[in-house]
């Protein structure tokens, strides 16, 4: 596993600016990874991902294992070449999708049996296989297989799953053959601070090059999410990168950075874009609203994305009403550009030690989705994060 994978450059209260060193280039942190579940960030070319402001993407081992199959991608020279992405990349272990998308999963110490959500075929995933698949895919950062629990699960159930996650983490470490991929552990422990503490202590003792916080944003109130993030991040080694899995709305990124998180991924910005919900400096707006039918101005005059530089809100509104695919593209570019700019501004404010000012001003101006909508949107654990998980 790589040494010197991460360098902390500057802190501003608990917020951190750093650099990740990968075989596919240096990535500044905080970093947001667009989600390319099926070896494509939905609707975009690799060049557009770069142009929109991203140096690192996430792909899902579960999806790629089922289709086109790990061996196809291996034969094509790995995932970077297959999807023509020469930037940095992280793959997850497949665990989250097995628990959230696949029916009939059965778990034992050995591994997890699941059925494909595509054709119902039965499969078996172990920590060793999760590493083998991720070595074949060849991402720069790979993840241990963990056991995920749901919001509301009992302390006992969460504790048992956490213990198994720890045993699996050790097996993943042992299974790793290559030397160039950074393998991150995943801290579990549900909504129980003392379990989070146990998990962090157990996993940091194993000296992984990075640590993820898993099992959050699964339906719990936002205060709970951030209380857990704060407690857990404080237990992680300062010199290692911290990755909050599956979180990435604008307001959540700001709040998580404030608590010491470096790395994010989330399908939400692109998914809500495809539903017509667009980020602006004042909050989310829906392009399908009648008000936009004749708006002779970009959706967000402050935005420098390709869509806002070239098209009116009226045109975008038309594309959505006419079910034109270009609408999905432009909305995706817009929301991802918003996130890229947000993360850049966050980093600059950390470097200037003005992050708390930025945080206050941003959250005062930005109208986040209300709690109810958020819970509806993200809370359906076991139905999870749609197909693109």
Residues that bind its own copies (CB under 8 A): 38-40, 42-46, 63, 67-68, 72, 75-77, 82-84, 293-294, 296, 306, 310-312, 314-315, 317-319, 321-322, 324-326, 328-329
* Least CB distance to its own copies at residue 325 (A): 5
- DSSP secondary structure, 228-246, as one string: HHHHHHHTS-TTS-EEETT
What does the alpha-carbon distance between residue 373 and residue 60 come to, in Å, rounded to a whole number? Answer: 26
Say which of 55, 92, 153, 262 is annotated catalytic.
92
Say which of 146, 252, 262, 265 is annotated catalytic.
265
CB-based contact 163:188 (threshold 8 Å): no
With respect to its own copies, which residue has the nearer C-beta, 83 or 125? 83
* Least CB distance to its own copies at residue 339 (A): 19
* Least CB distance to its own copies at residue 187 (A): 32
The three-state DSSP-derived secondary structure of 321-349 is HCCCHHHHHHHHHHHHHHHHHHHHHHHHH
Structure tokens at 141: 């950062």
With respect to its own copies, which residue has the nearer C-beta, 226 or 306? 306
* Least CB distance to its own copies at residue 321 (A): 6
What does the alpha-carbon distance between residue 152 and residue 170 come to, in Å, rounded to a whole number? Answer: 27
Give catalytic status of residue 92 as yes or no. Answer: yes
* Least CB distance to its own copies at residue 279 (A): 20
* Best CA proximity match to 188, nearest among 172, 165, 157, 156: 165
With respect to its own copies, which residue has the nearer C-beta, 150 or 314? 314
What 3-state DSSP class applies to 142?
Answer: strand
Give catalytic status of residue 265 as yes or no. Answer: yes
Size of the chain, expressed as the number of residues it contains: 389
With respect to its own copies, which residue has the nearer C-beta, 227 or 326? 326
With respect to its own copies, which residue has the nearer C-beta, 38 or 224? 38
* Best CA proximity match to 385, nearest among 188, 100, 146, 143: 100
**Active site amino acids:** 92, 265
């Amino acid at each position: 596993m790589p040494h010197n994978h991460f360098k902390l450059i500057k802190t501003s209260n608990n917020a951190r600016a750093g650099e990740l060193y990968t075989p596919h280039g240096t990535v500044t942190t905080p970093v947001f990874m667009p989600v390319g579940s099926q070896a494509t960030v939905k609707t975009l070319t690799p060049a557009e991902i770069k142009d929109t402001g991203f140096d690192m993407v996430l792909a899902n081992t579960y999806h790629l294992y089922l289709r086109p199959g790990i061996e196809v991608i291996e034969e094509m020279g790995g995932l970077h070449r297959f999807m023509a992405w020469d930037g940095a990349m992280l793959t997850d272990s497949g665990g989250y999708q097995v628990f959230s998308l696949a029916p009939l999963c059965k778990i034992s110490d050995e591994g997890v049996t699941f059925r494909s959500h595509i054709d119902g075929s039965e499969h078996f995933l172990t920590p060793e296989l999760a590493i083998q698949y991720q070595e074949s895919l060849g991402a720069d950062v790979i993840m241990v297989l963990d056991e995920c629990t749901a919001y509301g699960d009992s302390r006992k159930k969460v504790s048992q799953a956490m213990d198994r996650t720890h045993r699996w983490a050790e097996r993943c470490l042992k299974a790793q053959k290559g030397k160039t991929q950074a393998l991150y552990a995943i801290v579990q422990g549900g909504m129980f601070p003392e379990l989070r503490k146990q998990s962090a202590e157990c996993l940091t003792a194993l000296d992984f090059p990075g640590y993820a916080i898993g099992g959050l944003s699964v339906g719990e109130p936002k205060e709970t999410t951030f209380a857990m993030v704060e407690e857990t991040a404080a237990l992680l080694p300062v010199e290692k990168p911290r990755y909050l899995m599956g979180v990435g709305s604008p307001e959540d990124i700001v709040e998580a950075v404030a608590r010491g998180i470096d790395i994010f991924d989330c399908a939400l910005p692109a998914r809500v874009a495809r539903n017509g919900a667009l980020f602006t400096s004042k909050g989310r707006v829906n392009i399908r609203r009648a008000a936009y039918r004749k708006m002779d101005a970009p959706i967000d005059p402050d935005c420098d994305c390709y869509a806002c530089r070239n098209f009116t809100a009226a045109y975008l509104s038309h594309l959505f009403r006419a079910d034109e695919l270009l609408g999905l593209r432009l909305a995706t570019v817009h929301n991802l550009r918003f996130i890229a700019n947000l993360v850049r501004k966050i980093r600059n404010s950390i470097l200037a030690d003005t992050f708390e000012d930025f945080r206050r001003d941003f959250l005062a101006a930005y109208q986040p989705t209300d709690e109810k909508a958020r819970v509806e949107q993200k809370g359906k654990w076991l139905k999870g994060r749609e197909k693109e998980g």
